[in-house]
Amino acid sequence: MHLGIQKMSLFVACLCHDLDHRGTNSSFLTKTDSPLAMLYTNPILEHHHFSQTVALLKMENISIFSHLSDQEFLQVQALLIVSQITSTDSFIILLL
């Protein structure tokens, strides 16, 4: 994958890292039988942030990756998972 696409993926991950955050944590969501806890596995919020990010990226009017092939977009999603769910800070160091 082109380094420019990797950097753009990281930028999107940083911007969307806490997208639609509810002000609680995964433990609270699980204990209160939140709909998010029923929808996603742990880490609940990270999976939710990722899903919201992908939904936004698939919208025609704001898709900054629309020029990519389906395979390339899957690679972008994989980078978003690595950077959003595991550790954004560690991933930033890899791309600098």
* Residue spans of beta strands (DSSP E) within 2-94: none
**Burial classification of residue 56, based on how many CB atoms lie within 10 Å of its CB (0-12 exposed, 13-18 middle, 19 or more buried):** middle
Banded pLDDT at 91 (limits 50, 70, 90): very low
Handedness of CA 18, 49, 88, 60 (dihedral sign): negative
> Which run of H or of E encompasses 39?
helix 35-39
pLDDT, the chain, mean? 82
Does the global pTM surpass 0.85? no
The percentage of residues in the chain with a pLDDT greater than 70, rounded to a whole number, is 84
Domain locations in the chain as residue ranges = 3-95
